[in-house]
Amino acid sequence: MRGAGLIGEPQGGTERALELVEVPRPDRVLAIGVPLWVETSVARPGGEGNVSGFAIALGWNTPQKSSAYLISDDGLPRPLWVAEADLVTNSIRRAF
């Protein structure tokens, strides 16, 4: 199976210029049942800020030992996989 993801080259600061491409989905996926908000160093396609939003799944590949989060960003048309290494901050957001 294939899914949408972001790839790109490093640029100035922590931002990266990226393009939407078809990338392999992780071998294993686990839904995240808590409201985990993440901010990344990955620039949104179109250059309006960085990808951020609620992480809705954690995925990993066993042979490569890599992991990624499926992030639902309101500024993007669909959730995207972002590598764990590209996360800048995370927090649990609870409604009161």
pLDDT tens for 21-31 read: 445 578 899 99
What pLDDT score was predicted for residue 66?
A: 85
What pLDDT score was predicted for residue 24?
A: 58
Which residue matches tokens 């790109």? 8
Range of the domain at 11: 2-92
Task: Count CB neighbours of 55 within 10 A.
Answer: 20
- Residue 55 one-letter amino acid: A
SS in 3 state form for 44-69? CCCCCCEEEEEEEEEEEECCCCEEEE
Domain tally, the chain: 1
Provide the mean pLDDT of the chain.
80
Tell which wins on pLDDT, 47 or 17.
47
Q: What tokens appear for 40 in the block?
A: 């990344």
